[in-house]
Amino acid sequence: MYLKLAWRNLWRNKRRTSITMASVFFAVILSTLMMSIKEGTYVNMIQSMVGSYMGYAQIHADGYWDDQNLDNSMVLNDTLIKIISSDSEIDGYVQRVETFSLAASKDVTKGAMVVGIDPVAEGKLMELDERVVEGDYLEAEDKAVLLGAGLADFLELGVGDTIVLLGQGFHGVSAAGKYLVKGLIKFGSPELSKHVIFLPLKEAQWLFGMENRCTSVILLLRDPNAATDVTQQLAAHIDSRFEVMSWETLMPELINMIETDRVEGYVFMFILYLVVSFGIFGTVLMMLAERRHEFGVLVAIGMKRVQLALVVWIEVIIISICGAFAGMIGALPVCTYFYLRPVRFGEDISKMVEDYGMEAVLQASIQPEIFVQQALIVTGIACFISIYPLIKVMHMSAIEAMRQ
Amino acid sequence: MMLLIQIAWRNVWRQKIRSLVVIIAVALGLFAGVFASAFVEGMMRQKIDSVIRLEMSHFQVHRPGFRDDMRANLFIEDVSALRQALKDEQAVEGVSERLLVMSMLGSANATGGITLMGVDPDAEATVTDLHTKVEEGEYLPANKRLPILISQEMAEKYKAHLRSKLVLTLQDVNGDMTAGAFRVVGIYNSGNNLFDEQHAFVRKEDLRQLIGIPVGVHEVAVLLNSHELAEPMATQFQQIFPNLEVLSWMDLASGMRYLVEAFGAYLYIIVGIILTALLFSIVNTMLMAVLERVRELGMLMAIGMNKFRVFGMIMLETIFLAMIGGPLGLLLSWAAVAYFGKYGINLSGAAYGEMGFATIIYPYLDASSYWNVTVMVIVMAVVAAIFPAKKALSLKPAEAIRKI
Amino acid sequence: MNQLVVETKDLFKIYPGVVDVHAVDGVDLQIEDNEFTAIVGPSGSGKTTLLNIIGGLDRPSAGSVKVNGHELSGMTDNELIDFRLKHIGFVFQSYNLIPVLTAEENTEFILLLQGTPKPERELRVRSLLKEVGLEDKLNSRPSQLSGGQQQRVAVARALASKPDFVLADEPTANLDSKSAENLLEIMAQLNQEEGITFIFSTHDQRVIDKARRVITLEDGRIVSDERR
């Protein structure tokens, strides 16, 4: 009954109700679009900076991360393998040997990250084979390398050329090797492509004098968002000789960057809602003033103030929710479009974004939380706004109200 | 005319609720627009300031092609003409001639690639702020042998401290690998992590010997006495020295030009959005006010106040309201910007430092921007009233009077 | 013979609908200068509509309505407003005055709209308010005046532009008997001493008693026209 009353009351003054709803619609659709694009970009950022290379979780020898040194390498023993394999949250793992070395071509030398990988595993789990842009992917027994495309450019090397690797191995042994460039590889993050060289694991272990050892084990998670939980659980089961870290620990600056950006978004949203909320409040205030007489009559003929207050509250809620709903529905198609077809940025922006190590696309997210969040905010605002009118109604004197 | 003004003014004070609502809405909208703009502008200024004062100076001169890969052999041989031209130019505050090379830094613990800057400490201090950011030790004293100034980031990564020995490996001018051992004399922290991770400083003469360039430099950085002169000066010098590459800071830092130019558009969008939200409130409020005054307006038209005057009266009321709300909002926002402009908004928890933005934001807005936003808000408020005012005209006096 | 202040011929006002409503159903009316005339009739008789048309507040569906020789039926909205300003004075049942103006200002309002110079205005306004007995209430706002006083100010204002006639729509309806008497007295006096034409729409017997001509309407037609 209250609902019916409230609904009809609202439509008595079509224009006012429509305009108020429109303002809510406006705020919601903008906020939703903004948050959706931000969240989508974050996912994209995480994927391109973490998922494609670093992995969502890693295991190292205890203390390796702070002091990244071949001497701090580990052995992937059977116990570890068993624990990892039996964890349902972990879809797979790959071993890597990672160290900094000099890479040299005929005329040019540059420092680069040499990564010893298991080509089959990396291909399956990290889809490394799909990133080859020229030449061929590695096989386990190859004595050849995959060069990052940016690095290849700098060293002026192409597929079929020879590259020399020089560095320091396990326990100080000298490492030197000559390899064929079998293929060129490209990552979403150009930074990565400028610094990386892939070598088959066996070859890397031989080169650096560390048979059976690796520097890190990358874990592939079923649910990337659960990284922290999974690593915590795992840490409990693993020997203290090892450390387990989620990507959030491995790349705190990424988290920070995301959080900051998110906060910025909230700040803007706050300002926007502030302005709109006040608009709604103003409307409600004037609505009250306009209907004083009517309220007076209702209370005089026997409607309890509480009931009247309820009707008013429902009216405010309906306006807000309908506007919010419309806003969400309006935003959905746009978000879905950008979710399915991310848009590349123009040249200038692309360059800048890529310099930060990110992929230059505009991507949206259609996580329901984003939409639900807006609905909740609007409902919260509506309730807050209603406080004043409700108080006024509860303290109204029928006779005063009818005195025009 | 005076009559209309008089009536409009008195009407403003008669309809207290309506007036208060519009005044606050305008003030709020103005506050939101100004504060948001000041925030973003403050950030931009700091970023620009930091880019100029720490990284790029106002413009730099290189040999064409040097910036692509930083090959040691692409240096400027004869700097004397340039030096003279800069000396003659009044606007120049400081000039630093540098040697730059990509180098591998090795300590007992780690190896990595950095950009090694060979500078003349005194000249360098006229161009950048670096000498003020030394946290431990000294800048680059003349009396020490082969000193090197590293960042705190580097110190942590390579486990170095004052007096540590660091080995720098690089490719000299002939393409041969060479190395030099330097001692850490100072540790700096610029607040910009991206910069710090990458740059270490040694004396130009020391680097000269290592690289094998007896005369000539890789880079000439120039600081002017005003930001505005950067572009025109750079163009001017490029014309004078067509064989060299002269670029202003906007073109040196990737994406800066875009950022700066997009910034203006970005601000307009933000303010535009806030204005639109404001529009809804005002239209709605004025509309309700007009419809509430049906009897009064009908009576006015009955006794002979023509439509133009009625329209004018309502518009005048809105103008008055906007003129009250405007300064109010202006005052509030000016106070907020002044306060935070002095004490800063602390975003330390956030990762702005990672992206090269300072962690404490000092909102800033120049006078013209205040004006712009204020004018926009007032204009918008008045525009918002047009529709309700027109509505008033379509009231039929006969009907209006009969409404009891 | 006196000039006809108001003349209607074959006046019709029809509201279309499922059944067409003939609010004014063929009215031929002639009102002369100096009249003190009441138009009466039950609700739905069309008296309100008729008066709206005569007062230029509404347009007829058919027929002609002339005020002092000017044909109203073809005028645009703005022309009507302007005409009312110069030729017709109004006293409504309530909400006559502009709430934010004082009695003096309310009265001079019409003159201001017409652009009358200040000295002339002041003189006229003061004398009008004196005539209605409110010379000491010049600076009072409507909220500070009693109902009767407000209606008197309305009369003063209605007379300000020397209109062809004054249209009074239930002027006494919201007043107590004493104030009502008072108001009527004043209007009657103005009619007799200054020759101002008054046309009333009323239910109030007192007004009817005082009127020298009573026109009765029923179903949109004049059913009786009594001169006394």
DSSP A45-98: HHIIIIIIII-SEEEEETTTTTS--GGG-EE--HHHHHHHHH-TTEEEEEEEEE
Backbone angles phi, psi at C220, to 5 degrees: 80, 5
Mean per-residue pLDDT, B177-182? 89
Domains in chain C, number = 1
The residues that bridge with A117 in the sheet, in sequence order, are: A96, A200
d(CA C138, CA C106): 10
From the list B244, B120, B373, B289, the residue with the least C-alpha distance to A283 is: B289
Neighbours of chain C (3+ CB pairs under 8 A): B
pLDDT band at residue A88 under the 50/70/90 scheme: confident
- Nearest residue of B to residue C94, measured between CA atoms: B401
Give me chain B's average pLDDT, please: 84
Give the strand pairing for B177-188 and B165-171: antiparallel
Which residues, numbered 310 to 349 in chain B, qualify as contacts with chain A under a Cβ-Cβ cut-off of 8 Å?
Answer: 347
Structure confidence at residue B192 as a pLDDT band (50, 70, 90): confident
What are the chain A neighbours of B17 within 8 Å (beta carbons)? 285-286, 289
Contact (CB, 8 A) for A35 and A216:
no
Query: Which CATH number covers residue C17?
Result: 3.40.50.300
Region of residue A358 (left: phi > 0; alpha: psi -120 to 50; beta: else): beta
Question: Does residue B403 carry a pLDDT above 70?
Answer: no
Residue of B nearest to C91 (CA): B303
What is the nearest CA distance from B265 to chain A, expressed in angstroms? Answer: 14
pLDDT at B404 over 80: no
pLDDT tens profile B11-46: 888 888 888 888 988 898 888 888 888 888 887 787
Question: Cβ separation of A260 and B351 shorter than 8 Å?
Answer: yes
Instruction: Check: CB of residue C182 under 8 Å from CB of residue C5.
Output: no
Contacts of C169 in chain B (CB under 8 A): 401
Interface test with A, best of B111, B346, B394 (most A CBs within 10 A): B111
> What type of residue sits at position B193?
N
Backbone φ and ψ for A182, nearest 5 degrees, come out as -90, -30
| Strand stretches in chain C, DSSP E | 4-15, 21-32, 36-40, 62-67, 70-71, 88-91, 165-169, 198-201, 213-218, 221-227
Report CB contact under 8 Å: C96, B3.
Answer: no
Q: Which of B25, B276, B351 sits opposite A278 (nearest CB)?
A: B25
Least Cα distance to B26 among B320, B312, B386, B392 occurs for B320
Q: B58-92: per-residue pLDDT in tens?
A: 999 999 888 877 788 888 888 888 888 888 888 89
Q: By the 8 A CB rule, do A183 and A135 touch?
A: yes
Partner-chain residue, chosen from A167, A278, A289, that has the shortest CB–CB distance to B28: A278
* Whether residue A189 has pLDDT greater than 70: no
CB atoms A67 and B277 under 8 Å: no
A174 Cα to chain B: minimum distance (Å) = 14
- CB interface of B with A, residues 154-183, below 8 Å: 159, 169, 171, 175, 177
**Nearest residue, CB atoms, A349 vs list B17, B255, B274:** B255
User: CB distance A353–B255 less than 8 Å?
Assistant: yes
Best of C24, C113, C155 to mutate (most B CBs within 10 Å, chain B): C113
Q: Which of B142, B128, B140 is nearest to B190 (CA)?
A: B128
Q: Which chains touch B (3 or more CB pairs under 8 A)?
A: A, C
Q: Which of B303, B390, B404 to mutate to test the interface with C (most CBs of C within 10 A)?
A: B303
- For residue B11, give how far its alpha carbon lies from the nearest alpha carbon of chain C (Å): 6
How many Å separate Cα C172 from the centre of its chain?
13
Axis crossing angle, helix C77-87 with helix C103-114, rounded to the nearest 10: 120
- B291-317 as b/e: b if 16+ CB within 10 A: bebbbbbbbbbbbbbbbebbbbbbbbb
Residue B347, pLDDT score:
58
Average pLDDT, integer, range B374-392: 86
What is the rounded distance in angstroms from the CA atom of residue C113 to the CA atom of residue B309? 9
Of A287-291, B219-223, C188-192, the one with minimum mean pLDDT is A287-291
Give CA separation, B345 vs A273, A274, B338, B360, B363, in Å. 21, 20, 12, 6, 8
What CA–CA distance (Å, rounded) separates A43 from A362?
A: 11
d(CA A307, CA B65): 79
- The boundaries of the domain holding residue C199 are 4-227
User: CA–CA separation, C30 vs A22, rounded Å?
Assistant: 54
B258 vs A contacts (CB less than 8 Å): 348-349, 352
Q: What's the pLDDT band for A392 if we cut at 50, 70, 90? A: confident
User: For chain C, how are helix, strand and coil distributed in percent, rounded to 5?
Assistant: 40, 30, 35
CB within 8 Å of chain B, chain C residues 163-222: 169
**Confidence bin at B400 (pLDDT 50/70/90):** low
Tell how far CA C141 is from the center of its chain. 23
Listed residue (B217, B34, B9, B30) closest to B117, CA to CA: B217
The pLDDT assigned to A347 comes to 66
Classify each residue of A338-351 as buried b or exposed e, where b means 16 or more C-beta atoms within 10 Å of its C-beta.
bbeebeebeebbbe
Cα distance between residue B53 and residue B60, in whole Å: 13
Please give chain C's pLDDT, 228 residues, in tens: 457 899 999 999 998 888 888 889 889 999 999 999 999 988 778 888 898 899 888 889 999 999 998 999 888 888 888 888 889 998 888 878 888 888 998 898 888 888 888 888 899 999 999 989 898 988 998 889 998 999 999 999 999 888 999 999 889 988 898 999 999 999 999 999 888 999 999 888 888 999 999 999 998 899 999 988
DSSP state of B40: H
CB within 8 Å: B11 and C100: yes
Lookup: tokens for C199: 């046309």
Q: How far is CA B15 from CA A222, B193, B324, C204, C208, in A?
A: 63, 57, 15, 34, 39
**Mean pLDDT for the stretch of residues B371-379:** 85
Contacts with A, B 197-236, CB within 8 Å: none
C-beta atoms surrounding B172 within 10 Å: 17
Q: Is the pLDDT of residue B335 over 80?
A: yes
Phi, psi of C27 (to 5 degrees): -115, 125
The count of other CB atoms within 10 Å of the CB of residue A314 is: 19
How far C75 CA sits from the closest chain B CA (Å)? 14
- pLDDT tens-digit readout, B229-285: 888 999 999 999 999 999 998 888 766 777 777 777 878 888 888 888 888 888 888
Residue-wise pLDDT for B114-159, tens only, equals: 889 999 999 999 998 888 889 888 888 888 889 999 998 888 888 8
Cross-chain residue pair B28–A275, CB shorter than 8 Å: yes
Report chain B's terminal Cα–Cα distance, integer Å. Answer: 31
How does residue B350 score in pLDDT terms, banded at 50, 70 and 90? very low
Are the Cβ atoms of B303 and C58 closer than 8 angstroms? no
In chain C, the N- to C-terminal Cα span, in Å, equals 18
Distance from CA of B382 to the nearest CA of C (A): 22
CA contacts within 13 A on the Cβ side of A5: 13
CB atoms within 10 A of CB C161: 22
**Helices (H), strands (E): how many in chain A?**
15, 14
Count Cβ–Cβ pairs < 8 Å, chain B vs chain C: 63
Q: Which residue of B has its CA nearest to C157?
A: B303
| Contact indicator for B204, B167 with CB cutoff of 8 Å | no
Asked if C90 lies within 8 A of B303 by C-beta distance, the reply is yes
Name the closest residue on chain B to residue A277, using Cα atoms: B281
**Of A78-87, A295-304, A330-339, C58-67, the least confident:** A295-304
The first and second tokens of residue A284, run together, are 């409600």
Q: Inspect the structure and tell me whether chains A and B have 3 or more CB pairs less than 8 Å apart.
A: yes
Q: Read off the pLDDT of residues A259-270 as tens digits, 9 standing for 90 and up.
A: 777 877 887 888
d(CA B66, CA B100): 10
3-state secondary structure B42-109: HHHHHHHHHHHHHHHCCEEEECCCHHHHCCCCCCECCCHHHHHHHHHCCCEEEEEEEEEEEEEEECCC
Q: How many CB pairs under 8 A join A and B?
A: 148
Query: A191 or B21, which is more confident?
Result: B21
> Å from B388 to nearest chain C CA?
19
ipTM value? 0.76
Percentages (nearest 5) of helix, strand, coil residues in chain A: 60, 20, 20
Task: Name the residue among B149, B90, B93, B92 with its Cα closest to residue B119.
Answer: B149
